[in-house]
Amino acid sequence: MPRKPLIAANWKMYKTPVQAQEFFKLFLPLVANHDRDEIVVCPSFTSISVVIAAATGSGVAIGAQNMHFADEGAYTGETSPLMLKAIGATHVILGHSERRQYFAETDELINKKLKTALHHQFIPIVCVGEVLAEREAGKTEEVLLRQTRGCLAGLTAGISAAEASPIVIAYEPVWAIGTGKTATPQMACEAHALIRAEVARLLGNEVADNLRILYGGSVKPDNATTLMNEPDIDGALVGGASLDPQSFAKIVNY
Ligand code: PEP
């Protein structure tokens, strides 16, 4: 079965609930009846409920940008999977490079969150990607393999294709995030092929063949088509260009 592309908006720490509602008023008519791609918007926690209400009946899914691995507990400032489930979030971004960089998230922590996400039937979008110094030192492959293995650790033992099918990986070269620099399609395809081959080794060919691997890093309306036309790029994780309804709609309608 062909993989349905997924285009996800990561709003980071932008937009109040009112601004999020305003976005949806303008965005939804621009993507009405769009069925070719799965569309997901991940606002900040405070806007998730209002955005879910605004998106009702539209086919646009709503996700979170992060999640704790525990169902509940003494974790001040954190948000649990049960809380997100209760309000209707369906997707969750895990291990974004900004979480790794500013909040010290490790592959081990992301792995715990991934297991929780699967347990609670979220669609997890697990982010991997090298920083500029790693690319320049020729370490891209090593970093992507380490992150892929670390994030998927422990899933090797007997996970079925059905259990693994929600997993989405986003390849986001860190040097391309928010910088206006984009990986060339060739760079992205090499990274995607490497990740897919590693997932095949870890979880089997069926899981790897069904795995959606997104590209993220300065995706804009003017480069979306080139990137999305690559057979091994199964969608995009979009930051800056997803904040504006017209711009995000143009990317979705690549
Ligand atoms: C991101 O936040 O995941 C991202 C890719 O950001 P940008 O599109 O702004 O580079």
Q: Which atom of ligand 1 is nearest to the CA of 216?
A: 5
Mind listing the domains of the chain with CATH numbers?
Answer: 6-252 (3.20.20.70)
Q: What is the mean pLDDT of residues 30-54?
A: 97
Q: Which atom of ligand 1 is nearest to the CA of 12?
A: 2
**Which contacts of 154-161 are long-range, i.e. CB under 8 A and separated by 24 or more positions?**
154/111, 154/115, 155/114, 155/115, 155/202, 155/203, 156/202, 156/203, 159/203, 159/207, 161/204, 161/206, 161/207, 161/210
**174, 218, 243, 250: residue to mutate for ligand 1 pocket, most atoms within 8 A of CB:** 218
Measured in angstroms, how far is the CA atom of residue 239 from the centroid of ligand 1?
3
pLDDT digits (tens, 9 = 90+) for 122-156: 999 999 999 999 999 999 999 999 999 999 998 86
pLDDT digits (tens, 9 = 90+) for 118-130: 999 999 999 999 9
pLDDT digits (tens, 9 = 90+) for 155-208: 865 677 788 889 999 999 999 999 988 899 999 999 999 999 999 999 999 999
pLDDT digits (tens, 9 = 90+) for 212-249: 999 999 999 999 999 999 999 999 999 999 999 999 99
**15, 102, 219, 233: residue to mutate for ligand 1 pocket, most atoms within 8 A of CB:** 219
Measured in angstroms, how far is the CA atom of residue 63 from the centroid of ligand 1?
16
Measured in angstroms, how far is the CA atom of residue 158 from the centroid of ligand 1?
34
